[in-house]
Structure 1
Amino acid sequence: MFNLEQLAAFVAAVESGSFSAAARRLGKSQSSVSIGVNNLELDLGVTLFDRSTKYPTLTVQGERLYEQTKVVLRQADRLQSYAKGVINGVEDTIKIGIDPLVPFSVIDTALEKVAQVYPYIQVQIVKLFGDELNNAILDESVQLGLHLSAQAVPVNLEFAVIANIEWVCICSPDSEFADKETVYNEDLINFRQIVCSSMLENNAVKSIALLSQEVWQAEDQDDVIRLVEQGLGWAYAPKSMALEKEATGSLIVFSPEFKCEELYYSCDLIWKASAHYGPALQFILQQLTAK
């Protein structure tokens, strides 16, 4: 029965162009590579290379088996990497709770890096806020949480301020506010406002959350933005999210009369003080708190 060394010799010979080059690539003798490929052909009962020319070339069957062999070797690498991760205590799954008010851009770079360093870990993102998020971390159904700073963090939780999120006012390009240099407070009060529900629960932002006499609510900030894009009202939104939409022409960032300076709110990363975290969670914590 063929083995992984034979498969690796076969792939190296194809990609290097010769058995001697494959041997240098693998750090083995040319004879061991040749024997490995010959034995693979015997085990499979298929001729992989046409050896009638100076340099061996793949047969039709060899070309098909080359692609399949690469898949097998990748799967073997995945198996070995996963087993190594288990030995080193790497978590199978990480669950992160994110307040709907926190833009995903706060965490996306850290997740990209953890995917590179720990490619076989599973990450789950859930939207939670307020006491629901705190309780999920305390009972360890969620390992990390991100929310806007609102009040004292519970005694059993650790926290770190990881970002300052700027908020802006948005409307659709068809809104009567779109072409105005300044939108007066009276106009905002008389025009429908779209609000993310968690804004009304957050002590830090609820003081500015409601201005209009007519309000629609959505559970997620992405849904708020979608309703604004449809021209159904104006809203507050994280500037990073608003600028992405403004670049596509689906939203306008406007200046309200009441805004005398930029509006920022801190984003906290929270986690359970007594929890034991494996390498991947420690890596994410390090990435998010590095600033």
Structure 2
Amino acid sequence: MSLSTDALIAFVLAAEQGSFSAAARSLGKRQSTISETIANLEIDLGVTLFERGGRQPQLSAAGQRLLPFARQSLASQDSLLQQAQLLAAGQETRLAIVLSDTFHTGDFEAVLGRFAERFPLVELECLVGEQDDVLALVQGGRANLGLMMARADYAADLAHQALARQAETSLYVAAGHPLAQLASVGEAELLRWRELRLRTYQDTPQPDSGGQCWSAPSYLLLMEMALHGFGWAELPHWLVERYGSGLQRLPVAGWPRRQRIDAVWSRRQPPGPAAAWMLQVLLGAEF
């Protein structure tokens, strides 16, 4: 059974405005046309929507029950048409971004409001990944954009560009860890204690470390391990400052380190309007 959009509109307006004549005036039609349209809708549905015994038609029990569904049906049709228009115009309906924990999400949070205003109908999905996991999600089409610690080279099917803000990382331990009591820490001291190391899903298994190395696929998990005193870890400064109260930075030569963050995307699936706008903002073009 196919229900007419005009019939649903007539039903909703008549219910909201209290009369067929009022609905007719709103739609610029004759009252007889609205009466006939609603009567045909009642035939299609097999129920009486309005009681017509008084001066003005009153919603029946069935009409009261079906009115919210009529409104929902009209709203769904609106969404369908809007999405179709976006597709016809070449704009994507969904944008997926995979973010490294090394990227300061304060920069990202600052543009979300602007993105919502500019692309209100685009679904935004935020994923978390590091290094090869970011590349796998972008190359596999799971994510449209990726933000990750820069590497020396990329596959030919990937485009990349450096962000203005760099990542800064240091080595951290829990405040109660023995390493935290040392005035300076060298390689020998680090080797005595467990390392908490980043290891992505794409990494190949490493030789058994005898318990001297624990790993996780995200810096957030490594930070949680470090907070519990399980070892030392390289962590982004911003992450520790925001969420890592209780960690202490180790005084190690050569640290902290600053590294470039790259935005990456697939040349086989070029960014659509929403992705291109987000990319420009993240690259600093609109800050």
Alignment TM-score, normalising by the size of structure 2: 0.65
Q: Structure 1 20/89 Cα, relative in aligned 2: closer, same or farther at 3 Å?
A: same
Q: Structure 1 162/176 Cα, relative in aligned 2: closer, same or farther at 3 Å?
A: same
In the TM superposition, 1:1-291 aligns within 5 A as: 2-15=3-16, 28-29=28-29, 31=31, 33=34, 35-50=36-51, 57-91=58-92, 96-99=97-100, 101-102=102-103, 107=108, 113=115, 117=119, 119=121, 125=127, 127=129, 129=131, 143-151=144-152, 157-167=159-169, 171=173, 175-176=175-176, 184-186=183-185, 189=190, 191-197=193-199, 214-246=212-244, 251-258=245-252, 265-271=259-265, 276-289=270-283, 290-291=286-287
- After superposition, what is the alpha-carbon deviation per residue over 1:116-171, rounded to whole angstroms, capped at 9, x for unaligned? 726466858473526x7668867978643211234467887341415444546655
Partner of 1:210: none
Q: Structure 1 252/275 Cα, relative in aligned 2: closer, same or farther at 3 Å?
A: same
1:65, distance to aligned residue in structure 2 (A): 0.9
- After superposition, what is the alpha-carbon deviation per residue over 1:199-220, rounded to whole angstroms, capped at 9, x for unaligned? xx9xxxxxxxxxxx95422222
- After superposition, what is the alpha-carbon deviation per residue over 1:29-86, rounded to whole angstroms, capped at 9, x for unaligned? 5735555434423432322234567775533212221222233223322322232233
Count of paired positions: 268
- After superposition, what is the alpha-carbon deviation per residue over 1:239-289, rounded to whole angstroms, capped at 9, x for unaligned? 44435535xxxx524344459998654422133568644333323323433
Q: Once superposed, what is the RMSD of the aligned Cα atoms?
A: 4.7
Structure 2 unaligned segments of length 5 or more: list them: 204-210
Partner of 2:206: none
Q: Structure 1 106/56 Cα, relative in aligned 2: closer, same or farther at 3 Å?
A: farther
| SS of structure 2 residue aligned to 1:147 | strand
Q: Structure 1 219/43 Cα, relative in aligned 2: closer, same or farther at 3 Å?
A: closer
Q: Structure 1 288/44 Cα, relative in aligned 2: closer, same or farther at 3 Å?
A: same
| SS of structure 2 residue aligned to 1:185 | coil
Structure 1 unaligned segments of length 5 or more: list them: 202-212
The CA distance in 1 between the partners of 2:30 and 2:255, in whole Å, is 71
Q: Is the 8 A contact 2:148 2:261 kept in 1?
A: yes
The CA distance in 1 between the partners of 2:22 and 2:248, in whole Å, is 63
Q: Structure 1 28/135 Cα, relative in aligned 2: closer, same or farther at 3 Å?
A: same
The CA distance in 2 between the partners of 1:125 and 1:109, in whole Å, is 17
The CA distance in 2 between the partners of 1:215 and 1:159, in whole Å, is 33
Q: Structure 1 41/120 Cα, relative in aligned 2: closer, same or farther at 3 Å?
A: farther
Q: Is the 8 A contact 1:114 1:280 kept in 2?
A: no
| SS of structure 2 residue aligned to 1:46 | coil
The CA distance in 2 between the partners of 1:65 and 1:234, in whole Å, is 61
Q: Is the 8 A contact 1:19 1:34 kept in 2?
A: yes
Q: Structure 1 287/232 Cα, relative in aligned 2: closer, same or farther at 3 Å?
A: same
Identity rate, percent? 23
Partner of 2:208: none
